[in-house]
Amino acid sequence: MNTHYYLSWFNDFFPEKLVKWLHEDIKDRKSLVMISAQPSGYKGEQVNTDDVFERTWFNQANIIFDEYHFIDHRMQKEDAQRLIQNASVIFLCGGNPVLQNDFLAKYELSDAIKNSNAVIMGASAGAINMAAKWLCSKNTGYEVETSTIYDGIGFDHFAYESHSKLDYAALVQGDLFPLSEKIDVYAAEQESAMRVNDGKIDIMGKVYLISHSKIQILVETL
């Protein structure tokens, strides 16, 4: 089974505890493939992986790959699928989860990612789209009138929310409590991470489990 990392967001770099786990899990370092969450936001003809902020996290952690690839609308669908098939690590970048969700569907990437033997990682929007479900509502920062539950790639059977600065009391009672009646919800604050390996979940930082309208903060295990 693949190892999955659900990351909130890191303003500077991967924390030392997380780096230790990543060095243990990422043995194959041939290719890092990053998938945009702003797939139409780049105007240049060439995909420059040096412009991707998330790549700096790996550099600072001294996790260096032979090849770096960045997938957005500038790349052909077939090329994107081929890169995913050969990736050592697949990283779903932060940005707009709705745009990323649409892009994954348009390029038919979800099945390719699920069939990959790579370590799968996502930050913010990317982590949200790795989960089975996620919530799009005005309380979670979107300009929408009606709350919508999206299907993610579905590596693990839970919903994930990455909300570092929102009012948890209003958020969970208004939106996430109803969702938690159907599926467990993990809500992560800034500078936190979840590692899922063979069904076992490890926690770093402040992560809340919301289940059947009850909320608890989880003990760190990473």
- Looking up residue 120, the CATH number of its domain turns out to be 3.40.50.880
Residues of the chain with pLDDT under 50: none
Q: Note the pLDDT of residue 5.
A: 97
**151 neighbors 125 (Cβ within 8 angstroms):** no
Residue 130 lies in a domain: yes
Domain count, the chain: 1
Whether 222 is in a domain gets the answer no
Residue 74's pLDDT is 86
Helices (H), 61-207: 77-85, 97-106, 110-114, 125-130, 168-171, 177-180
In the prediction, which pLDDT does 91 show? 96
* pTM of the shown model: 0.92
Q: Write down the pLDDT at residue 37.
A: 87
The predicted structure's pLDDT at residue 46:
61
**Range(s) of the domain holding residue 100:** 3-217
Q: What is the pLDDT of residues 33-84, one digit of tens each?
A: 999 988 776 666 666 676 677 888 899 999 999 999 999 988 999 999 999 9
Residue 23 belongs to some domain of the structure: yes
In a domain, 188, yes or no: yes
Query: CB of 2 within 8 A of CB of 118?
Result: yes
**Predicted local distance difference test score (pLDDT) of residue 136:** 82
